[in-house]
């Protein structure tokens, strides 16, 4: 059994996927050998992402899981189903290396010493240091307002890196949402009163290569509405 499975939800990331090597090298230096596995969740990829992974990541312990759906949630649920009995912890990561890597060592130590089930690395933490542009700040503010209207008071940043136990019961009850997948993760964990802790992080957004656009924002809003009136 591996201690940690690092999950990378991926959809057509051929221009950014090689950035992950920097993160993988850092993990290699800071975690014991054979204690971890990198999992690339290819969600209906149609570009060269898979080939780039196979060619460039041979020296790292990794696995590719492929979902035919263009859905972040579909890929994550596939990983939970196949790996939850083969790993002790899951970590959801980002291919753009925006978050400080030491979050994972801090989260791992925190979880071993305390009885938390989930550790979040939210940008909204009062001690987090975030470098981003004005547009992203506006989008984040409006997003929190929208979520508070639908689900009540909202202070949690859900679109962030996470570290959590693989034996959390609700992992087999999540839906195959795309952009809403990690917001659903938080809402369901809150409903199940799952213990969590927020760790301050350093974030430097890749504004130049950001994939945020009007389509994604509208899609996210519609998924929020669907969950609110069908499952909440």
The predicted-structure confidence for 96-143, as pLDDT tens digits, reads as follows: 999 999 999 999 999 989 989 999 999 999 999 999 888 888 999 999
Q: What is the mean pLDDT of residues 44-60?
A: 96
Give helix 214-230 / helix 134-151 axis angle, nearest 10°.
10
Phi and psi dihedrals of 215, rounded to 5?
-60, -45
Total domain count, the chain:
1
Task: Provide the mean pLDDT of the chain.
Answer: 94
SS3 of residue 137 by DSSP: helix
Angle at the Cα of 92 (from 61 to 67), degrees rounded to 5?
A: 75
Strand spans (E) along the chain = 2-10, 36-43, 62-67, 87-92, 118-121, 129-131, 161-165, 196-198, 202-204
pLDDT at 207: 67
Rounded distance between C-alpha atoms, residue 104 and residue 106, angstroms: 5
**Model-wide pTM > 0.75:** yes
- Provide the domain limits for residue 73: 2-230
| 89 CB-near residues (< 8 Å, 6+ apart) | 3, 4, 5, 108, 111, 163, 164, 165, 166
Average pLDDT over residues 158-180: 94
pLDDT value for 22? 97
Report the C-alpha gap between 190 and 192 in whole angstroms: 5
Indicate which CATH number applies to the domain containing 195: 3.90.550.10
């Amino acid at each position: 059994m591996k201690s940690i499975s690092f999950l990378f939800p991926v959809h057509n990331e051929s221009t950014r996927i090689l950035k992950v090597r920097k993160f993988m090298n850092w993990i290699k230096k800071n975690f014991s050998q054979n204690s971890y596995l990198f999992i690339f969740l290819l969600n209906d990829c149609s570009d060269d992402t898979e080939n780039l992974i196979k060619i460039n990541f041979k020296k790292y312990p990794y696995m590719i899981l492929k979902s035919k759906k263009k859905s972040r949630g579909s890929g994550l649920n596939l990983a939970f189903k196949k790996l939850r009995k083969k790993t002790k912890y899951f970590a959801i990561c980002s291919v753009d290396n925006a978050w400080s890597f030491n979050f994972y060592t801090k989260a791992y130590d925190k979880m071993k010493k305390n009885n938390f089930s989930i550790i979040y690395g939210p940008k909204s933490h009062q001690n987090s240091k975030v470098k981003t542009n004005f547009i992203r700040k506006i989008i984040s503010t409006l997003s929190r307002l929208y979520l508070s209207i639908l689900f009540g008071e909202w202070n949690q940043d859900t679109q962030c890196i996470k570290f959590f136990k693989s034996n959390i019961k609700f992992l087999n009850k999540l839906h195959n949402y795309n952009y809403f997948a990690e917001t659903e993760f938080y809402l369901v964990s809150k409903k199940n009163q799952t213990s969590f802790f927020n760790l301050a992080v350093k974030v430097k957004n890749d504004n130049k290569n950001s994939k945020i656009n009007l389509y994604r924002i509208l899609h996210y809003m519609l998924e929020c509405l669907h969950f609110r009136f069908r499952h909440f």
